[in-house]
Chains A and B, each alone.
Chain A
């Protein structure tokens, strides 16, 4: 074990000194997470919470119902913040500044026109650079107007059914209001559905932080196992083999180096993205379990790839290809699980998918939810790592 630590310490010192591991393990993923986060923040408004402005120029009964009942219900989802604005001019200015992502405008006379059965419309002012928020605002407005239309249709139907032949007196307004109230009472309130599903998804910042971290983890752990091939090419492996230490200690040192590089990289990235970007990784213990399982899986797979190569350069090339393919399949850049057909099922051949799923589950549940994804990743580690160990013994010869 002493020899294992000595070789591992030597490898870590050399790796940290040549800066390649720091670059791949920390700087690049941190930079990419920042870039992706910035790009997608521009599309979604730069925040996880969509800020919607509401300008109520009507102040009638129906618009009051929208602002006092519907919008608060929407706001309670936690995903949308409603900001009443006094005037359309002010709302436009805030939207132009980016403070508001979209604005719903209820024009003057809206309630009166609805109540007498005349055409009425709500307006949505969106931002061409933020189509998602605009679409959300439009959906809320359309839900409400659809509800109004349903009520109006119900009242009209009742009125038509109770009407006398020609020359008869129309229903009194009080009766119409009573019918509308009855129809509204059975109407489902507008609400954001599937709230539980939302809480089990990583928010954007956390997704890119975790996605980039686990994507580059597969590159970072290469440095440990590939160094065995480098030592063979450079002739230093012969010197290690001639030393009074076991071969297992040499192999163990290489795997330990990979593991520790992975731990350093993931820990620094988790802390840095939390502090710098406000990413929320979840329960630290659960995250630690997932991170350790992911590192072991990455180390096992990368070690196996290294054993198939003839030299360090070839190993690095093959490992990069595998890391990129698994990273894409695992949804580190975009969620493949939402893709149609085989692709959505194929995502789980990648440990990265289990890692991200585990973090998502951890966000919406207790720590116990991490065991399934963790065990899946440990399965990858056991199979790939076991095969790699048998093959690594052959590499550890001059």
Chain B
């Protein structure tokens, strides 16, 4: 992840009339890094990436892609970006191959190279056997794959995916997530917007949480979770001297809270996964028999709730 960032943006601002859609958003993405922009619908994600991709004039701020300043007229900066819009941006009356060839030529590839890359992307997206069919005959999942494939054609340094799994069936969704994981593994920087917390947690090295046009938090998942200030919750369903076991556990430095309830012990600990063996050893030493263990870790949903007072999907 070393080297010059593929994307640097700071102070992005865009107003629509009196509405401030994006206000001071800034972050960077390193090569090979997947950065998630997480926020509810209407938070300003699409407006932000529209400015980053050079689709939309900005009222303020700076964007640099692969060292090139980005404006709506920047050719070199745009060449470094693969943009996959939220809508299915493909031509229904053209075949999959014709769609890919068109965009390959539009990105300046000579015909021979365009044909080669088209074949590669058709294979990558699993559409080679339907390449000659008009895309209006494709299933929703096939269209989604082609939509992403077009963004990969010219092997960009930065791939921008704007909520690519909206309206996608679980099987296709999983395929898309797997392909994105593969891209970052191949060294491509990815900017991924979503309002699905699970996707951001699964894919992203770092996550920016955006709400009402402002980037309200940024960091790795663990860094963001730590903002909540809560530990992991552990519930031991058990029999025996539960009160004594709880008292012993409460004495441990990594246990923030321990309570014996009817048939269970509820704990709040700093690192449940790491300390679970110690917890089980401790309660066993006082004769408590554990029937089941339930661990609940704080997630990005909790982070968003903590930061905004609202649920992510409100």
Contact of A398 among B55, B88, B91 (CB under 8 A): B55
With CB as the reference atom, state the residue of chain B lying closest to A245. B106
| A238 in contact with B106 given A243-B78, A398-B50 (CB within 8 Å) | no
A397 at the interface (CB under 8 A from B): yes
A163 at the interface (CB under 8 A from B): no
> Of B31-39, B79-87, B243-251, B254-262, which binds chain A?
B79-87
> Of A11-19, A256-264, A311-319, which binds chain B?
A11-19
Q: Which of A7, A246, A398 has the most CB of B within 10 A?
A: A398
Contacts of A14 in B (CB 8 A): 91, 93-94
With CB as the reference atom, state the residue of chain B lying closest to A243. B106
| A241 in contact with B55 given A10-B94, A235-B89, A236-B90 (CB within 8 Å) | yes
**CB atoms of A234 and B89 under 8 A apart:** yes
| A6 in contact with B93 given A235-B88, A242-B53, A247-B72 (CB within 8 Å) | no
Contacts of A234 in B (CB 8 A): 87-89
B213 at the interface (CB under 8 A from A): no
8 A Cβ contacts from A325-348 to B = none
CA distance A398 to B72 in the complex (A): 11
**CB atoms of B93 and A241 under 8 A apart:** no
CA distance A266 to B234 in the complex (A): 79
Q: Which of A243, A247, A397 has the most CB of B within 10 A?
A: A243
Interface flags for A1-28 (1: CB within 8 Å of B; 0: not) read 0010011001001100110000000000
8 A Cβ contacts from B73-123 to A = 73-76, 78-79, 81, 83, 85-91, 93-94, 98, 102-103, 105-108
With CB as the reference atom, state the residue of chain B lying closest to A398. B55
CA distance A331 to B98 in the complex (A): 43
CA distance A6 to B111 in the complex (A): 12
CA distance A234 to B90 in the complex (A): 8
| A6 in contact with B89 given A244-B75, A398-B56 (CB within 8 Å) | no
Closest Cβ–Cβ distance, residue B76 to chain A (whole Å): 7
With CB as the reference atom, state the residue of chain A lying closest to B82. A242
CA distance A18 to B86 in the complex (A): 26
Closest Cβ–Cβ distance, residue B110 to chain A (whole Å): 11
**CB atoms of A244 and B94 under 8 A apart:** no
Contact of B55 among A3, A7, A17, A242 (CB under 8 A): A242
B150 at the interface (CB under 8 A from A): yes
A97 at the interface (CB under 8 A from B): no
Main secondary structure of the interface of A (DSSP, over half): helix
CA distance A247 to B55 in the complex (A): 10
B164 at the interface (CB under 8 A from A): no
Contact of A235 among B73, B74, B78, B85 (CB under 8 A): B85
**CB atoms of B76 and A238 under 8 A apart:** no
B208 at the interface (CB under 8 A from A): no
CA distance A247 to B102 in the complex (A): 17
B54 at the interface (CB under 8 A from A): yes
Interface flags for B46-78 (1: CB within 8 Å of A; 0: not) read 000010011111000000000000001111101
With CB as the reference atom, state the residue of chain B lying closest to A240. B106
Contacts of B102 in A (CB 8 A): 6, 10
With CB as the reference atom, state the residue of chain B lying closest to A10. B102
CA distance A243 to B77 in the complex (A): 10
Contact of A6 among B50, B53, B54, B106 (CB under 8 A): B106
Interface flags for A281-306 (1: CB within 8 Å of B; 0: not) read 00000000000000000000000000
CA distance A13 to B101 in the complex (A): 13
| A239 in contact with B89 given A6-B102, A6-B106, A10-B102 (CB within 8 Å) | yes
**CB atoms of A241 and B72 under 8 A apart:** yes
Contacts of B56 in A (CB 8 A): 397-398
Closest Cβ–Cβ distance, residue B83 to chain A (whole Å): 4
**CB atoms of A239 and B103 under 8 A apart:** yes
**CB atoms of B89 and A236 under 8 A apart:** yes
**CB atoms of A244 and B85 under 8 A apart:** no
Contacts of A239 in B (CB 8 A): 83, 85, 89, 103, 150
Closest Cβ–Cβ distance, residue B224 to chain A (whole Å): 29
**CB atoms of A3 and B72 under 8 A apart:** no
14 of the cross-chain contacts (CB-CB < 8 Å) are A10-B98, A17-B93, A234-B87, A234-B88, A235-B89, A238-B50, A241-B54, A241-B55, A241-B72, A242-B83, A243-B78, A397-B55, A397-B56, A398-B50
Chain A residues within 8 Å of B, Cβ to Cβ: 3, 6-7, 10, 13-14, 17-18, 234-236, 238-247, 397-398
